[in-house]
Amino acid sequence: MNVAVPAETPAVITETSTTMRAGVLTAPRKLRAQGVPRPAMADDQVLIRTHFCGVCPSDVRWFTGERTDGSYPRMLGHEWAGVVERVGSLVTSYAEGDRVVPDWRVVCGSCHYCRQGVANYCENVQTSRVRGGYAEYGVALAMNLRKVPASVSFEEACFTEPLACCLNGNRMCGIREGSDVVVLGAGPIGLLHVQLAKLRGARVIVADPLRRRLPDARNLGADELVLPDEDPVAKVQALTEGRGADAVIVAVGATKAMQQAVAMAGINGVVNFFAGQYPAEPLQLDPNRIHYRQLRLTGSHDYTPDDFTKALKLIALRAVRVKELISHVLPLDYIEQAFQVVAERQGLKVLIDCIGGLDG
């Protein structure tokens, strides 16, 4: 783990009992730690002292301005973990001192999609009942918390949400023992997909234009690597005796990668467009290839409560290794620099330390 702290010290913002420090985005690429009111806690919620929060690509899109609704200031962050500091009067399942990770998606359980088992598309999803992120404090409904086992550090617990999303996407691919699976993109998300595919018994092939990321893919289970100067479609064809891949997971929002994924998929193969694309571009595909090779194109978005629970369990069992994915840890005061690291693809997973000390 690389703990990166710039030498220059920022101005100190004093916290009071009603305020806290939080990262606030005031315009594209203008992200600073500043004093804000602490979130109010309802009777069915708990107040959490945040320890760490992971920088997610979706947050980075808001930071760069690739994704925006024009409303500022705004607070970001949803991959957070910490300690319960206070509980509401209706909360009986958690106590002060519990180590927790919040699921930010409050689903109703009774709408059309929840009843179909796809709660990630809940028609009544609430996001205001779980509020936290790049801030010293957050609040969450007790029903949306998971207790973090003592064997799992707060840094590792921050991977629960992105791993849950990967579980949802991985499930779409129909991966079985002996499947040939290609992962396009060896960033943190791609490397989680590599490990999940290996758990299902697949042979995993990884491609990424950044050569420095490929050793991490190998270390985390990739069987074959496509080097930046190689044609990924031709390499996959060669590795699969000309048949193509059984599943291709596109873990980067790039048109070229999406086109390559369809080209390298074999008969009855699955292509999962896992990553979103901002700005979205038209995608030219040969419909006959999809038709005659009986390909299935699918997307995946977010996760279900069950995915969230399973993700934390996989981390606790060390079935999915996440600590090796952390390349940078930066204090809350340097949140803008942290986002720049991710935007410029200078590392892998970047965490914000919201309390000032490493855990575990």
41 in Cβ contact with 86 (< 8 Å):
yes
In this structure, the answer to whether residues 23 and 159 fall within a common structural domain is: yes
Give residue 19's identity as a one-letter amino acid code: T
CATH number of the domain that 199 lies in? 3.40.50.720
pLDDT tens profile 303-318: 999 999 999 999 999 9
Overall domain count for the chain: 2
Check residue 16 and give its pLDDT: 54
Instruction: Please give the angle made by the CA atoms of 203, 245 and 228, to the nearest 5 degrees.
Output: 80
Sheet arrangement for strand 203-207: 224-226, 203-207, 180-184, 245-250, 265-273, 296-299
**pLDDT for residue 39 is more than 50:** yes
Q: Binning pLDDT at 50, 70 and 90, where does residue 159 land?
A: very high
**pLDDT for residue 3 is more than 50:** no
Mean pLDDT of the chain: 93
Instruction: Name the residue range of residue 63's domain.
Output: 19-164+303-353
**Alpha carbons 246 and 35: distance in angstroms, whole number:** 51
**pLDDT for residue 121 is more than 70:** yes
Pick from 2-11, 59-68, 284-293, 345-354: least confident: 2-11
> Please, is 12 exposed, middle or buried when counting C-beta atoms within 10 Å of its C-beta (0-12, 13-18, 19+)?
exposed
**Alpha carbons 181 and 265: distance in angstroms, whole number:** 9
**pLDDT for residue 211 is more than 50:** yes
HSE, CB side, 13 Å, CA atoms: give it for residue 203.
Answer: 12
Last residue of a domain, one of 277, 299, 321: 299
Instruction: Please give the structure tokens belonging to residue 124.
Output: 């009544």
In this structure, the answer to whether residues 177 and 115 fall within a common structural domain is: no
In this structure, the answer to whether residues 159 and 219 fall within a common structural domain is: no
Residue 162 gets which letter from DSSP?
H
Closest CA to 54 of 299, 314, 347: 347
3-state secondary structure of 67: coil
What pTM does this model have?
Answer: 0.93
